[in-house]
Chain A
């Protein structure tokens, strides 16, 4: 394995790394304290807690006026780049990632909102997108640098189980701003010339619907994913508790099956039935009895199946509910 000499040097002396981090941290703190950044971030907090963008003027200007956006980013990027030139192994003190042509820096997060700086470069594979994904929330973007050919994709209806996708060509250039609301619209970047840099403000819906991915060529549904991270985290926790046979968690899992997305609720019902069939069956019956519950039909069918296989479960419904 080849280890770069500068990394080897760090192993014997960690001081330069700590020095670089301290310096980058100070740059970030100085930037946050500047009047423009501070005003934007105060507005960002209001937006993250649900205020309409129009009621957050510094933030609205940030994603619609290129002069404002550039002033905001240049104050940070100039100082950061200068420090990184001198200490190239410093970590930029923001969450960041890079994958196949797309780099992003998460500048701020508050409530349901995030503010990110994104850079698109032509992907190494160079292939055109085959699918498009719609997520539930609103996004406001402004192009800071570079140019690209893109498409605004809208779901205009459904036909025989397939989505009708409508594409409108758009050209992105410095100053272009785009807004998307809800799960019916998104954009695809088809071709980037050089580098495309966007500032993106996004806010998740209060109760986000699952994200949906369609095949571009015919609108066929390819994939559905949970709309929020918390839900998947809870699902993973359920799986761990189930695998550990934690019977003592059954009452809490039963409570989890009463609110939230149908996907998570159903998973909670399954885990509860597997951990403690009596508690799980009582919850299942509760859902099956409620015709207004979106899980009414599958719960009713499963209840019938389970009663046929295990008639003694009928007794669980008469037992006192301790949940």
Chain B
């Protein structure tokens, strides 16, 4: 059977969708807050992490 191609952008997003872990609004002032502080690794990792997969 021929099934349609569906465009991702035509599918609704969840009203309560969550942003990326650690993301904040423009009003955020992370430096004075108690929120989770994330250490983002940009270039290389000096402390190796266990590999994580998707599935």
Residues of B within 8 A of A274 (CB): 6-8, 11
CB of A131 within 8 Å of the partner chain: yes
Return A269 CB to nearest CB of chain B, in Å.
8
Interface size bucket, B side? 35 or more
Q: Are A266 and B25 in contact (CB under 8 A)?
A: no
| 8 Å CB interface, B11-34 against A | 11-25, 27-34
- Number of residue pairs across A and B with beta carbons under 8 Å? 178
Asked whether A242 and B37 contact (CB < 8 A) given A213-B24, A225-B23, the answer is: no
* Distance in Å: Cβ of B9 to nearest Cβ of chain A: 9
- A319–B6 touching, CB < 8 Å: no
Complex Cα–Cα for A321 and B6 (A): 20
- Contact A123-B5, Cβ < 8 Å, known A91-B46, A186-B35, A223-B19: no
Give the residue of A127, A132, A316 whose beta carbon is less than 8 angstroms from that of B33.
A132
Q: In the complex, A278→B2 CA distance in Å?
A: 9
A99 to B39, CA, bound (A): 11
The contact of A277 among B5, B20, B25, B46, by CB within 8 Å, is B5
**Selected contact of B27 from candidates A130, A233, A234, A262, CB within 8 Å:** A130
Main secondary structure of the interface of A (DSSP, over half): mixed
CB distance from B16 to the nearest CB of A (A): 7
> Which listed residue (B15, B31, B35) contacts A211, Cβ 8 A?
B35
**Cβ contact of B31, chosen from A101, A276, A278, A319, cutoff 8 A:** A101
| Chain A residues positioned under 8 Å from B3 (CB to CB) | 276-278, 281, 310, 312-313, 315-316
Query: Please, how many angstroms separate the alpha-carbon atoms of A259 and B17 in the complex?
Result: 16
Flag if B18 contacts A226 (CB, 8 Å).
yes
A207 to B12, CA, bound (A): 25
Count of chain A residues with a beta carbon within 8 Å of a chain B beta carbon: 84
Contact present for A97 and B39 (CB under 8 Å): yes
The residues of B that contact A100 with a CB separation of less than 8 Å are 31
Q: Which residue of A lies closest to B11 (CB)?
A: A270
Most interface-central of B23, B25, B28, B32 (chain A CB within 10 A): B32
Q: In residues 23-55 of chain B, which contact A (Cβ within 8 Å)? A: 23-25, 27-41, 46-47, 52, 54-55
Beyond A127-B29, A233-B52, whether A133 also contacts B21 by CB under 8 A is no
Chain A, residues 83-102, CB within 8 Å of chain B (1/0): the string is 00000000101111101111
| B46–A93 CB distance below 8 A | yes
Q: Is A53 an interface residue (CB 8 A)?
A: no
A137 CA to B24 CA, complexed, in Å? 18
Q: Would you mind naming 6 contact pairs between A and B with Cβ atoms under 8 Å apart? A: A95-B39, A100-B31, A189-B33, A225-B24, A263-B18, A310-B4
B positions within 8 Å CB-CB of A: 1-8, 11-25, 27-41, 46-47, 52, 54-55
